[in-house]
Amino acid sequence: MLETLKNAWAVKEIRKKILFTIFILLIFRIGSWIPVPFIDIASLSNSGTTNEFFSYLSILTGGGLEHGAIFALSVTPYINASIIIQLLAVAIPALERLSKEGEEGQKKMAQITRYTAVGLGVLQGVAYYIYLNSYGNIMSSVTKFVTAPVVVLCLTAGATLVMWLGEQIDVKGIGNGVSMILFAGIISRAPTAARVLYNNLKIHPVGVVAILVVFLVIVAFIVWITNAERRIPIQYAKRVVGNKMYGGQNTHIPIKVNMSGVMPIIFASSILMLPTMILGFMGVKATTTSFGKALAMFSTQGVFYAVIYLLMIVGFSYFYATIQFNPVEMANNLRKNGGSIPGIRPGKPTSEFIRKILSRITLMGAFFLGIIAILPILVGKIGNMNISLGGTSLLILVGVALDMVQNLESQMMMRHYKGFLD
């Protein structure tokens, strides 16, 4: 990875893209500290208002929620909007047709996603305002008819600006813009998380070294699984066109073990955080009611939450695998191009074979995601610590880092490629 960065920095065009990406991320971090008007930052930091839902959002937003910043919502509205539109594209035929209309269709889908993200930004801004307003000493004494619109509009505008910054990275920078902003937010929280973990454990320096070794082993395991793939062998029949013979080569179809990335984890955790969010809005006294006790079962440190979390991750992994791979379509394309899987007849037997392999690979990838996600919950339960969201953060960090390295390698390959005229 370091060698790739060194070689990329030597190329002038790539160096400009790297510097532009760093500049955009710097703007994002500055905006994560600029407070929204009418919010008393000192009272907010001393109020102890953090619940599990906002702890989750705070990790993804780089602590913007804790500071009442204009970028407090970060890219969470855009991520949720993207997930919603992907789900609707499967359920609504009009959106499904639009997604298959090539470049123009993708532009329209992106525009719909942006509008949806703005709407979700307004809803999340209202929810954040209601949450803060429940603590009377945080909001300004100015009338609510003034503070409410200003706070919600500032948060929505901040989320929209972050979405635009992410798109600028897509066009002029390195890597996926939304992923890079998530990466910057999580990295910015790393020193604070390490200090809290160290203070809670109060262990000997040898124990710190042991934790670092375990951390590196987990990272290596994530990298190995992320790059792992199942290759289905494909053989193309020879055919004669005029005086030339085509085909006859052997190739393969790569199917990644973790083809859905961290999307199942993000979507599952977002849904499971809704009960905690509702409980936070209801107040502390709500935990004494039967409804409050039922919502409290979804605590991120509970065994019930871990079981439901694992099942939802497996379910969403299969859902995303279904979206990305269509065994029937793959079998038809192979037959049209004269390709076949050795030992498998073309047509329905091929599609059934691909579906069986896809199901097994998806199950392995889903359990991999689930284990990484719930392992911090189990460790936190044993050590009486709240590190339940560490697995999600670690998967995002490793995934974005690998994607960035692959992006740099592909760009260097394009610039060092010699055409047929050389």
For the stretch 370-404, pLDDT in tens is: 887 777 777 666 555 555 456 677 777 787 787 78
Q: How confident is the model at residue 116, as a pLDDT?
A: 92
Q: How close are the terminal C-alpha atoms of the chain, in Å?
A: 30
Lowest mean pLDDT among 90-104, 108-122, 267-281: 267-281
Interior angle at CA 375, CA 372 and CA 381, nearest 5: 160
Q: How confident is the model at residue 216, as a pLDDT?
A: 80
235 forms bridges with which residues in the sheet? 250, 340
Nearest-Å Rg of the Cα atoms of the chain is: 24
Q: How confident is the model at residue 420, as a pLDDT?
A: 42
- Give the global pTM: 0.76
Tell me which of 363 and 64 has the higher pLDDT. Answer: 363
Block residue for tokens 């047709």: 97
- Dig out the tokens for 400 from the structure: 């974005």
Say if residue 197's pLDDT is above 90: no
Tell me which of 46 and 78 has the higher pLDDT. Answer: 78
Average pLDDT, the chain: 76
* Secondary structure percentages of the chain, helix, strand, coil, to 5: 75, 5, 20
Highest mean pLDDT among 112-121, 146-155, 247-256: 112-121
User: Each residue of 282-340: pLDDT tens digit?
Assistant: 655 555 666 666 666 766 667 777 888 888 888 888 888 887 778 888 888 888 877 78
User: Each residue of 220-244: pLDDT tens digit?
Assistant: 887 888 788 888 888 877 666 666 6
CA distance 285 to 36: 29
* Cα 78 versus chain centre, distance: 11
Closest CA to 119 of 74, 148, 156, 82: 156
